[in-house]
Amino acid sequence: MAQLTAVLFDFGDTLFYSPDGAGLMVEEGLAPDLADRLWREIWASARSAAELARQRDVSPERHREAWTRLFARAEPHLPGVSERLYERVMVTDNWTPFPDSERTLPWLKERGVRVGVVSNVTSDLRPAFARHGLDAFVDSFTHSFEQRVEKPDPRIFLAACEALGSRPAETLMVGDSHLADGGAVEAGLTTLLLPPVSRGTERGLDLVTKLF
């Protein structure tokens, strides 16, 4: 195997986690158990193959339509909540880095490892990183809305490698979705998929540092 010299990270649920949709529903009067259950169901169906196949991340219009339809699961309990969930949860500037993201990105930069972000997303992720002082540790951002192609399509991973100036065989992909991020293997990247963790806990990114 070629020596790894660069790493691509997924954004959502890999480096950053979303605002708490269940929390918003509780604020609006829903019982915590019900809010948690609804939120888990929404997030799980958002990660399904059927939802990913909708290509929701190539335009803002498709994104809003797909997510408000998912959030509509909560409408019988809280009328109108899907728009409010969309505004709270889907603005990536409001997402928060996992604690080990804030350690791992500087660690990689210090060692001269090139770092890129490749994301299915409909807005620029740079402001979210800048807000947490992490933008200086990322060399390139590859967004699906700019590429007009989404993960798992190998073309977006190849575009991300090109943006980083790295060859796929020397680049590690780190993500959380076998359906989306797993497409990197078809583009020739060694791929690390991390299982889900709770919001705000350690993400398990120390494993990445062991590979460089």
Can you give the binding site for Mg ion, defined by CB under 5 A?
Answer: 10, 12-13, 176
- For Mg ion, give the closer residue by CB, 30 or 180: 180
| Residue 11: CB minimum distance to Mg ion, A | 7
CA–CA distance, 182 with 12 (Å, rounded to integer): 14
Q: What's the min distance (Å) between Cβ of 10 and Mg ion?
A: 4
**CB 175, min distance to Mg ion, A:** 6
For the bound state, the minimum distance from the C-beta of residue 119 to Mg ion, rounded and expressed in Å, comes to 8
CA distance 101 to 157: 21
Residue (of 56, 67, 38) closest to 180 by Cα position? 56
Q: Which is nearer to Mg ion, 10 or 150 (CB)?
A: 10
Q: In terms of CB distance, is 30 or 140 closer to Mg ion?
A: 140
> Would you say 12 or 183 has its CB closer to Mg ion?
12
**If phi over 0 gives left and psi between -120 and 50 gives alpha, with beta otherwise, what is residue 201?**
beta
- Smallest CA-to-CA distance from 11 within 74, 111, 83, 94 is with 94
Q: Closest distance between Mg ion and the C-beta of residue 22, in Å?
A: 19
Radius of gyration of the chain (CA): 17
CB of 128 to Mg ion, least distance (A): 14
CA dist., res. 46 & res. 79, Å (int): 20
> In this complex, which beta carbon is closest to Mg ion, that of residue 12 or of residue 152?
12
Whichever of 13 and 20 has its CB closer to Mg ion, that residue is: 13
Neighbours of 114 (CB within 10 A): 20
